Chain A
Amino acid sequence: MVLAAEESLRLDANLVDYALVAAYFAVVLLIGFAARSRVSDSLDFFLSGRSLPAWVTGLAFISANLGAVEIIGMSANGAQFGMATFHYFWIGAVPAMLFLGVVMMPFYYGSKVRSVPEFMRRRFGTGAHLVNALSFALAQVLIAGINLYLLATIVNALLGWPQWISLIVAAAVVLSYITLGGLSAAIYNEVLQFFVIVAALLPLTLIGLHRVGGVGGLIDSIRDSGNENDLSSWPASDLTSIDNPVLSVIGIVFGLGFVLSFGYWTTNFVEVQRAMATKSMSAARSTPIIGSFPKMFIPFIVIVPGMIAAVLVNEVQELKAGGDPGVTYNDSILLLIRDVLPNGLLGVAIAGLLASFMAGMAANISAFNTVFSYDLWQQYVKKDRPDEYYLKVGRLATVGATVTAIFTALIAAGFDNLMDYLQTLFGFFNAPLFATFILGMFWKRMTPTAGWAGLVSGTLAAVLVWSLSEVGVIGLEGQGASFVAAGAAFVVDIVVSVAVSMVTAPKPVSELAGLVYSETPREDRTDPEAHRLPWYQSPTKLAGISLVLVIALNLIFS
């Protein structure tokens, strides 16, 4: 992701702004110390002792995803493509989050596994587990590095600190609160971050709207600038680079809405870990469902500022008209902050941006240390040590991952495009994962060999399609290529898994209890207390309300 690094982004922060940012960091560290007093065993450290209420984990679920890539990237898409960007939230996130809560969470939480790869191991054995755990751990360290790099770039651009100092300071803050308080500290900070991000972006959106003359003024300005397409979300041909409107809609619905988003939201341990930290089955299922409510309104404070920047900020206007003002779309939200926020709110905005970038990184690292300790170290290196031993391994893994992330960030600083490519590639691990999980959860005949064979061949299919489109053999580019690659991964994974299952031996049915739908007693995948809960704590009723709302939003803003 490329940002304009020179003075054009420099914000005129004064002492008050710095004080507001400092207050935020003080509270973050305070949470780390407070959470420390509660960490007594490794389950506490890695899964918060399975004790958190659902609204806390639900907001953390959203916050863990609300990192630099999301805020900078989605406001950039808003400036460039307009309302089509809403699809990333209403098609590409909410349905998958509801599916995770209603259909898949009973297996994750009910089987008492401590991580998503661990579920993989119990269902398919060590072959699929190793593929999943290694690719996940590697991806997390890498993505943490990318988040850290963006954080340092922005601190450098906004405040003028040298990049290496911002790298080390940011890494030290994240490291200290996670090693101190483990997952609880990460989750509590994610909840705090959510509110600080809203406190930063909501005033920005409202003042920006006021400046362009309200919603009507924004629509008129976009129309006057000749970007009528930005005002409709379908068929999103600009976004997908697929000219045929029917194929573009199919690409959005199946590529983004089904394969990519279900792969990301339902199998990504960064997200699922937040739900595993809850105290009951109902709370675990509610976590992504509660998270879906803020998720469907976040675009209004992320995408809309990008659209405002496109008509209000001179540089972005020029960029949209085809000029070369020396900025990129990724700078949109920062330029809008520069132009409309007075000192004071500016400090809140800087704190909110830093919060969001640290949220992303902390989420990657706290998921990494769990998978590293439980799935790699305990499973393959040192088995059967006392619990304190794995707690220590977890803390050391956190330090190791943070230091590695600093070096990854330095590499990212040198090779911008390389990082973009790698991130796309890691995205491809997710698409076949969803196919393998969903088949494995509902088809008891699926064999361990099919588990890893499906994953590997699905990933290879995605990489193949994507590489072919990169070199121009398939006439697709940008997002359209990722959608088709993910679709290919899904289909190949299913076909290979079914074919391999037919010729290899399945696991004995007795080992599948809690892991496969037909072999799991009803009381193991439901909450015995569920009938006593009021409607606002019932996962399925909440999911129904969320689904109706998101369909309404899709219709209103089509």
Chain B
Amino acid sequence: MSTSSNGHDAGGAPATGGRRTAGAYDVRVVIAGLIGLYGVVLIVLGIVDYGAAEAAKTGDVNANLWAGIGMLVFALVFVAWTRLRPVVVEDGEAVEDPTGGADTAGR
């Protein structure tokens, strides 16, 4: 998969120490976080705030609810992808603090 660092030839220092995953610095986590947040907000809106005005605009479909579910599913797929194929960074190259990365994961 293109997200692994196999064949990494960026010309930096050779990898001396171990390798670890990029954690919250992985752009996929950020994307999943934002779209997932949108999904949750829209689902809540679809449940508590679906009335005649909304139905008139969308043609009797609870658009917020369905779009919200779609976004949440998308976010979960992205999180699963990140788990299955984590980005590996060489030590000292990108992530300073692995626990800091883990704490903010999924935000």
Nearest Cβ distance between residue A170 and chain B, in whole angstroms? 19
- Asked if B82 is at the interface of the complex by the 8 Å CB criterion, the answer is no
Report whether A339 and B57 are in contact in the complex, using a CB–CB cutoff of 8 Å. Answer: yes
Option from A31, A55, A339 in Cβ contact (under 8 Å) with B3: A55
Report whether A342 and B9 are in contact in the complex, using a CB–CB cutoff of 8 Å. Answer: no
Q: Which of A181-206 contact B (CB under 8 A)?
A: 188, 191-192, 195-196, 199, 203
10 A/B residue pairs, CB under 8 Å, sorted by A: A16-B41, A30-B30, A38-B93, A55-B2, A280-B9, A283-B2, A340-B58, A341-B57, A341-B63, A342-B58
Nearest Cβ distance between residue A66 and chain B, in whole angstroms? 16
- Asked if A509 is at the interface of the complex by the 8 Å CB criterion, the answer is no
Nearest Cβ distance between residue B65 and chain A, in whole angstroms? 9
- Asked if A529 is at the interface of the complex by the 8 Å CB criterion, the answer is yes
Contacts of A19 in B (CB 8 A): 41
Report whether A342 and B59 are in contact in the complex, using a CB–CB cutoff of 8 Å. Answer: no
Report whether A210 and B58 are in contact in the complex, using a CB–CB cutoff of 8 Å. Answer: yes
Q: Name which residue of chain B comes closest to A30, CB basis.
A: B30
Report whether B10 and A279 are in contact in the complex, using a CB–CB cutoff of 8 Å. Answer: yes
Report whether B2 and A340 are in contact in the complex, using a CB–CB cutoff of 8 Å. Answer: no
- B78-98: contact bitstring with A at CB < 8 Å (1 yes, 0 no)? 000000000100000110100
Q: Name which residue of chain B comes closest to A48, CB basis.
A: B10
* Bound-complex Cα distance A115 to B49 (A): 51
Most chain A beta-carbon neighbours within 10 Å: one of B9, B67, B96: B67
Q: Name which residue of chain A comes closest to B8, CB basis.
A: A279
Contacts of A279 in B (CB 8 A): 5, 7-10
* With known contacts A24-B34, A27-B34, A203–B49 Cβ distance under 8 A: no
Q: Name which residue of chain B comes closest to A290, CB basis.
A: B2
Report whether A537 and B30 are in contact in the complex, using a CB–CB cutoff of 8 Å. Answer: no
Q: Name which residue of chain B comes closest to A342, CB basis.
A: B54
* Bound-complex Cα distance A198 to B71 (A): 10
* Bound-complex Cα distance A511 to B17 (A): 40
* Bound-complex Cα distance A50 to B5 (A): 12
Nearest Cβ distance between residue B47 and chain A, in whole angstroms? 11
Q: Which of B29-83 contact A (CB under 8 A)?
A: 30-31, 33-35, 37-38, 41-42, 45-46, 49, 53-54, 57-59, 61, 63-64, 67-68, 70-71
Nearest Cβ distance between residue A216 and chain B, in whole angstroms? 15
- Asked if B11 is at the interface of the complex by the 8 Å CB criterion, the answer is yes
- A16-31: contact bitstring with B at CB < 8 Å (1 yes, 0 no)? 1001100110010011
Report whether A199 and B58 are in contact in the complex, using a CB–CB cutoff of 8 Å. Answer: no
| B positions within 8 Å CB-CB of A | 2-3, 5, 7-12, 25, 27, 30-31, 33-35, 37-38, 41-42, 45-46, 49, 53-54, 57-59, 61, 63-64, 67-68, 70-71, 87, 93-94, 96
* Bound-complex Cα distance A345 to B42 (A): 7
Report whether B30 and A31 are in contact in the complex, using a CB–CB cutoff of 8 Å. Answer: yes
Report whether A344 and B45 are in contact in the complex, using a CB–CB cutoff of 8 Å. Answer: yes
* Bound-complex Cα distance A51 to B11 (A): 10
Report whether B35 and A196 are in contact in the complex, using a CB–CB cutoff of 8 Å. Answer: yes
Most chain A beta-carbon neighbours within 10 Å: one of B35, B57, B70: B57
Q: Contacts A50-B10, A53-B2, A344-B49 known; list 6 others, CB within 8 Å.
A: A50-B11, A56-B27, A196-B35, A283-B2, A340-B59, A341-B58
Chain A interface size range: 35 or more
Contacts of A341 in B (CB 8 A): 57-58, 63
Q: Name which residue of chain A comes closest to B93, CB basis.
A: A38
Total contacts A-B at CB 8 Å? 104
- A200-234: contact bitstring with B at CB < 8 Å (1 yes, 0 no)? 00010001001100000000000000000000000
* Bound-complex Cα distance A341 to B64 (A): 9
Report whether B10 and A53 are in contact in the complex, using a CB–CB cutoff of 8 Å. Answer: no
Contacts of A195 in B (CB 8 A): 31, 34-35
Q: Name which residue of chain B comes closest to A341, CB basis.
A: B57
* With known contacts A279-B8, A345-B67, A207–B96 Cβ distance under 8 A: no
* Bound-complex Cα distance A50 to B57 (A): 47
Nearest Cβ distance between residue A538 and chain B, in whole angstroms? 11
Report whether A199 and B35 are in contact in the complex, using a CB–CB cutoff of 8 Å. Answer: yes
- A325-350: contact bitstring with B at CB < 8 Å (1 yes, 0 no)? 00000000000000111111100100
The 6 closest A-B CB pairs, nearest first, are A342-B54, A344-B45, A203-B67, A344-B64, A53-B2, A211-B59
- Asked if A495 is at the interface of the complex by the 8 Å CB criterion, the answer is no
Contacts of B11 in A (CB 8 A): 50
Most chain B beta-carbon neighbours within 10 Å: one of A31, A192, A195, A537: A195
- A342-361: contact bitstring with B at CB < 8 Å (1 yes, 0 no)? 11110010000000000000
- Asked if A54 is at the interface of the complex by the 8 Å CB criterion, the answer is yes
Q: Name which residue of chain B comes closest to A213, CB basis.
A: B59
Nearest Cβ distance between residue B86 and chain A, in whole angstroms? 12
Report whether B12 and A343 are in contact in the complex, using a CB–CB cutoff of 8 Å. Answer: no
Report whether A34 and B2 are in contact in the complex, using a CB–CB cutoff of 8 Å. Answer: no
* With known contacts A16-B45, A37-B96, A342-B57, A199–B71 Cβ distance under 8 A: yes
* Bound-complex Cα distance A51 to B3 (A): 10
* Bound-complex Cα distance A339 to B57 (A): 6
Q: Name which residue of chain A comes closest to B96, CB basis.
A: A37
- Asked if A49 is at the interface of the complex by the 8 Å CB criterion, the answer is yes
* Bound-complex Cα distance A529 to B2 (A): 13
* Bound-complex Cα distance A342 to B50 (A): 9
Report whether A348 and B63 are in contact in the complex, using a CB–CB cutoff of 8 Å. Answer: no
Report whether B7 and A529 are in contact in the complex, using a CB–CB cutoff of 8 Å. Answer: yes
Report whether B7 and A280 are in contact in the complex, using a CB–CB cutoff of 8 Å. Answer: yes
Nearest Cβ distance between residue B29 and chain A, in whole angstroms? 11
Report whether B34 and A196 are in contact in the complex, using a CB–CB cutoff of 8 Å. Answer: yes
Contacts of A56 in B (CB 8 A): 27
Most chain A beta-carbon neighbours within 10 Å: one of B9, B10, B68: B10
Contacts of A54 in B (CB 8 A): 2
* Bound-complex Cα distance A115 to B70 (A): 40
* Bound-complex Cα distance A283 to B3 (A): 11
Report whether B33 and A27 are in contact in the complex, using a CB–CB cutoff of 8 Å. Answer: yes
Contacts of A188 in B (CB 8 A): 27, 30
Nearest Cβ distance between residue A206 and chain B, in whole angstroms? 8
Report whether A345 and B30 are in contact in the complex, using a CB–CB cutoff of 8 Å. Answer: no
Report whether A49 and B34 are in contact in the complex, using a CB–CB cutoff of 8 Å. Answer: no
